[in-house]
């Protein structure tokens, strides 16, 4: 590219000067007009027509360089891309309180054994940079019944549903002896380290579900494929 000589002027200098000046005047007029429109335009609707962009922070627009041969095509102004305004998500969950008086997300509703062990595990996980959050601890029998009804609809039969949701009288959640946690990293951490605190993952199909199944420091028992409702 360095060997290329600049093209010879084919347009008389006077005409060229005139065209350049004219272009500059037109450009500045357009920009002034656009800014004026912008100032006077109080329409806040989303279909606001695009205006010639001024520089960031309202600074004057960059001077358009005019080449000597042909004027460059006017760059289409960038229309400011509006980010969709976040609609505040309305909380749909109301904390469900079990008969024990604790909300389902409350660790205090758990049995003393699981609660104590889980607290230690949560502290240790935090030291490892993993936050364990409780998604479901102690559940009311009414909530458990509702979950089972929903699961029967979802999975098509009582038997299939109880692989995921046991009836209230068999549910460790209703007894306060099981906890569901999140997010994924927390499940992985607790599955790996829970035995130190006596907290074990119980089922293959529920990586979030833990119970106090072993003595702290001892191996966790083999996992079960899924929950099984006992006929009674
Ligand atoms: Zn669970």
CATH number of 112-211: 3.30.1380.10
Q: How many whole angstroms from 195 Cα to the centroid of ligand 1?
A: 18
On the question of a cis peptide bond just before residue 19, with omega within 30 degrees of 0, the verdict is no
Q: What is the pLDDT of residues 190-222, one digit of tens each?
A: 999 999 999 999 999 999 999 999 999 999 999
Residue with tokens 């409780």: 134
Q: What is the pLDDT of residues 12-53, one digit of tens each?
A: 545 544 454 444 444 443 344 444 334 333 333 333 333 343
Q: How many whole angstroms from 129 Cα to the centroid of ligand 1?
A: 24
Q: How many whole angstroms from 175 Cα to the centroid of ligand 1?
A: 11
Q: Are 7 and 69 in contact (CB under 8 A)?
A: yes
Report how far residue 108's alpha carbon sits from residue 101's, in angstroms, rounded to the nearest whole number.
10
Domain extent listing, the chain:
112-211
pTM of structure: 0.59
Q: What is the pLDDT of residues 45-103, one digit of tens each?
A: 333 333 343 334 334 444 444 444 444 444 444 444 444 444 444 444 445 454 557 78
Q: How many whole angstroms from 11 Cα to the centroid of ligand 1?
A: 82
Closest CA to 121 of 197, 28, 10, 51: 197
């Amino acid at each position: 590219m360095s060997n290329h000589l600049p093209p010879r002027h084919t347009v008389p200098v006077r005409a060229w000067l005139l065209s350049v000046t004219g272009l500059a005047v037109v450009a500045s007029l357009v920009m002034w007009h656009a800014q004026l429109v912008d100032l006077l335009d109080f329409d806040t609707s989303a279909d606001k027509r695009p205006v010639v962009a001024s520089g960031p922070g309202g600074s004057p627009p960059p001077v358009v360089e005019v080449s000597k041969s042909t004027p460059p095509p006017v760059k289409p102004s960038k229309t400011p891309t509006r980010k969709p305004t976040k609609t505040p998500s309305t909380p749909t969950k109301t904390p469900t309180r079990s008969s024990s008086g604790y909300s389902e997300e409350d660790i205090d509703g758990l049995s003393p054994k699981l609660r104590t062990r889980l607290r230690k595990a949560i502290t240790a996980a935090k030291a490892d940079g993993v936050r364990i959050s409780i998604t479901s601890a102690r559940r009311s029998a009414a909530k458990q019944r509702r979950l089972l009804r929903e699961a029967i609809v979802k999975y098509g039969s009582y038997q299939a549903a109880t692989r995921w949701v046991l009836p209230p009288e068999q549910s460790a959640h209703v007894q306060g002896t099981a906890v569901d946690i999140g997010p994924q990293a927390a499940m992985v951490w607790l599955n790996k380290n829970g035995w130190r605190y006596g907290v074990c993952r119980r089922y293959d199909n529920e990586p979030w579900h833990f119970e106090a199944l072993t003595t702290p420091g001892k191996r966790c028992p083999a996992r079960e494929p899924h929950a099984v409702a006992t006929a009674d």
